[in-house]
Amino acid sequence: MTSGTARMRPRRAAVFSLHTSPLEQPGTGDAGGMNVYIAQTATRLAELGTEVEIFTRATSSEVPPVAELAPGVTVRHVVAGPFEGLDKNELPAQLCAFAAGALRAEARHEPGFYDVVHSHYWLSGQVGWLARERWGVPLVHTAHTLAKVKNTALAAGDTPEPRVRVLGEEQVVAEADRLVANTEVEASDLVRLYGADPAEVATIPPGVDLRRFTPGDSAAARARFGLSRDALVFAFVGRIQPLKAPDVLLRATAELLARRPELRPRLAVLVVGGPSGSGLERPEALQELARELGIADVVRFLPPQGGEALADVYRAADVVTVPSYNESFGLVALEAQACGTPVVAAAVGGLPVAVADGRSGLLVAGHGTDQWADALSSVADAGLRTRLAAGTVEHAETFSWDRTTEALLDTYARAKHAFHSQFSLEVTA
């Protein structure tokens, strides 16, 4: 970065996260990896001298209008529509109300209060587009997931993303000054499917909290969840919905036990998370499936876990599974590896980056029951698990939120430089 661009690093950033708040517990509803991403990067931006104000939709009358996430990081709860009962697909009707709330908040400050807008997910991008025009600042956008990609990899019976989202994403891609992709695959999708200018796409991998997610006492972690020391523990961590495919793990578990019934007395499968998305239509469907498959005795369902409890889930597991049909990256895979636990993941989206196949985990090229039963059977043997576990922490340590945040700051600076250079040219012309 040139010294001139370095001076363009923002004093204040407005972050838009309309449909989910970074204060919410990931693992249920619409809260997931994006919440972690925003909370972690905002905290570190503030530590590096950039104040952050996060705008999110108020979903309860009990939340305060303004809350502090961390020193230098403010969360503004904007009233836009009813507090509860709105599905994410109904939120486009609240874009105007949300934008009005954000613009009112900015109007209380002196002109030029924010230096950059960073929007997350397409709904926020629509509001970010308006703020860019009204405030005269660059818009940086992170999609996190893309409708055109999701619709090519739907789980059986899942609902396609609506056309309104596809159109909204195309508009945001066209108007944003910079697009942040998690992986080169996502960057390619933005160019190939949405017509993004390659020069305006920055590939910045997410990180992992290496202070919290560390190897620890497996026996103590197992005791916390009532698991025996000699248990063989597979875990799923995430939102319970078809996209995340926890049913793939259950079906593969049933097939594994049919092949190797001797594993049953010590096998434990942890499913950690809450219903989300189309999974809300049948919130007990996964429990019903476990009973139908005859494996209810080995499957345990836990609510979303946060903080040290989540780290202990990873430490208690022999293997963490990520069978998703689509993942822009897969933070769960990184967090598990940082705790020393190998991962078996679907070879989709960003997971081939998050998991080092054959070194810190295994990638499965598909979602077939036999494929996944083969993978689980291989890691059921301690020899392979031990070899994979040896590479987990080393791989996870190649990612960090500090590096992610530094790269974001550089992207903000470049966006500011390009935006103001363009503005100067327009004025001169």
Is 139 within 8 Å of 128 (Cβ atoms)? Answer: yes
**Residue 103: its pLDDT value, please?**
95
162 is in an annotated binding site: no
145 is in an annotated binding site: yes
19 is in an annotated binding site: yes
133 is in an annotated binding site: no
Order of all β-strands in the sheet with 73-78: 66-70, 73-78, 51-57, 12-16, 116-120, 139-142, 178-181, 201-203
327 is in an annotated binding site: yes
132 is in an annotated binding site: no
Our CA angle for 323, 313, 19, nearest 5°, is 65
31 is in an annotated binding site: yes
The token pair at 24 is: 């919410």
Report how far residue 234's alpha carbon sits from residue 336's, in angstroms, rounded to the nearest whole number.
12
**Residue 280: its pLDDT value, please?**
57
pTM for the model = 0.90
Query: What is the sign, positive or negative, of the torsion defined by CA atoms of 157, 158, 163, 167?
Result: negative
35 is in an annotated binding site: yes
Per DSSP, helices labelled H in 197-272 are 218-224, 246-259
pLDDT tens, the chain, 429 aa long: 444 455 578 999 999 999 888 988 776 667 678 999 999 999 999 999 999 999 999 988 888 999 999 999 999 999 998 887 777 888 999 999 999 999 999 988 888 899 999 999 999 999 999 999 999 999 999 999 999 999 988 887 788 999 999 999 999 999 999 999 999 999 999 999 999 999 999 999 999 999 999 999 999 999 999 999 999 999 999 989 898 999 999 999 999 999 999 999 999 999 999 886 655 566 688 999 999 999 999 999 999 998 899 999 999 999 999 999 999 889 999 999 999 999 999 999 999 999 999 999 999 999 999 999 999 999 999 999 999 999 999 999 999 999 999 999 999 999 998 898 776 555 444
Which domains, from first to last, does the chain contain?
A: 12-207+401-427 (3.40.50.2000), 218-398 (3.40.50.2000)
Report how far residue 270's alpha carbon sits from residue 387's, in angstroms, rounded to the nearest whole number.
23
Q: E strands within 213-287?
A: 232-237, 267-272
125 is in an annotated binding site: no
* φ/ψ of residue 8, rounded to 5: -90, 5
Going by C-beta distance under 8 Å and a sequence separation of 6 or more, which residues neighbour residue 350? 182, 183, 185, 186, 205, 327, 328, 329, 330
The token pair at 287 is: 């429990």
335 is in an annotated binding site: yes
68 is in an annotated binding site: no
**Residue 323: its pLDDT value, please?**
97
The token pair at 308 is: 């040290």
Which helix (H) or strand (E) element contains residue 364? strand 361-364
Report how far residue 31's alpha carbon sits from residue 274's, in angstroms, rounded to the nearest whole number.
10
Neighbours of 217 (CB within 10 A): 12
* CB burial readout 332-370, b (16+ within 10 A) else e: bbbbbbbbbbbbbbbebbbbbbbbbeeebbbbbeebebe
Neighbours of 147 (CB within 10 A): 22
Report how far residue 273's alpha carbon sits from residue 289's, in angstroms, rounded to the nearest whole number.
16
Name which of 4, 34, 40, 3 is nearest 21 in CA terms.
Answer: 34
Going by C-beta distance under 8 Å and a sequence separation of 6 or more, which residues neighbour residue 339? 213, 214, 215, 216, 311, 314, 315, 392
239 is in an annotated binding site: yes
Name which of 322, 376, 384 is nearest 353 in CA terms.
Answer: 322
314 is in an annotated binding site: yes
- CA atoms lying within 13 Å on the CB side of residue 396: 30
The residue type of 366 is G
DSSP 261: G
121 is in an annotated binding site: yes
The token pair at 375 is: 């993978």
Length of the chain in terms of residues written: 429
The token pair at 81 is: 């529509």
Hey, is 172 helix, strand or coil?
A: helix
Name which of 209, 158, 223, 198 is nearest 401 in CA terms.
Answer: 209
Beta-bridge mates of residue 120: 142
